[in-house]
Amino acid sequence: MSNILVIAAHPDDEIYGMGGTIAKLADQGHKVYTLIVTEGCSMQYPGETEKIAMKKEEAIKANELLGVKKVIFGELPDMKLDSIPHVQINGVIENAVRELQPDIVYTHHFGDVNKDHKMVYESTLVAVRPLHTQCVKEVYCYQVPSSSEWAGPFQAEVFLPNVFESIEKYSHLKEEAILAYNTEIREFPHPRSLKYVNLWDSMHGARVGLPAAEAFQMVRSIKK
């Protein structure tokens, strides 16, 4: 079985992006860990420091529902990753890779409209450089509703999925995890509504003959 690290810029990105796959991998016996790079709420709730603790509680509950072994919090400033030294973001991710020794890493897509997502993607690639001592053998990008699909219509930014994970048996767990992030749920047609997420997963599934799936873009796979 593999050690798997899911990297998210903000609390809930991991659930909206690949909650079904996380539940599936954990159910298969893999050890799944989540790294949340920022505290995820100081921009949304300025001055309300108690919200940071609330977000952590929501993140732990949501990830536990999916079978995640451990949630690591980087606690970098929300929506300000482009204002701090890039090496600081690298360090948060490198420390997690060093501690957990993952075989597989999932991260954000470089074309996301959210700047924090872009920064996390770039720092992930630094942390998992394929040196001879590197433990990471596979790297994938996942989508996040309200970010990935709002990127510009340019080839360099378009998400091009080439891996699809069937999540039909795990959609109910993804829904439960989304509900655990109750501060983030919106009403349809907002992309962060349950109805939208279910339609999103159904659409990805239908593209490859499945009732429901999550889509990924492979960055690298090293076979030995």
Q: Which domains does the chain have, with CATH numbers?
A: 3-183+216-221 (3.40.50.10320)
Distance of CA 39 to the CA centre of its chain: 14
- How many other CB atoms are there within 10 angstroms of residue 103's CB atom? 17
Q: Is the pTM of this model over 0.85?
A: yes
d(CA 89, CA 11): 16
* The two structure tokens encoding residue 7: 């990297």
Alpha carbon distances (Å) from 125 to 105, 136, 155, 219, 220? 10, 11, 20, 9, 10
Side-chain half-sphere exposure of 219, counting CA atoms within 13 A: 22
Instruction: Please tell me the distance from the alpha carbon of residue 181 to that of residue 59, in angstroms, as a whole number.
Output: 7
Question: CA 62 from chain center: how many Å?
Answer: 13
pLDDT (0 to 100) of residue 146:
84
**Residue 224's pLDDT is what?**
85
Pairing of strands 163-166, 213-221: antiparallel
pLDDT score, position 157: 83
Q: Tens place of pLDDT for every residue, the chain, 224 residues?
A: 999 999 999 999 999 999 999 999 999 999 999 999 999 876 666 767 787 888 999 999 999 999 999 999 999 999 999 999 999 999 999 999 999 999 999 999 999 999 999 999 999 999 999 999 999 999 999 999 988 777 777 777 889 999 999 999 999 999 999 999 987 788 999 888 999 999 999 999 999 999 999 999 999 999 98
Quick one: pLDDT at residue 151?
73
pLDDT for the residue 207: 98
Extract the tokens encoding 14: 């991991």
DSSP, res 69 = S
- Give me the pLDDT at residue 50, please: 80
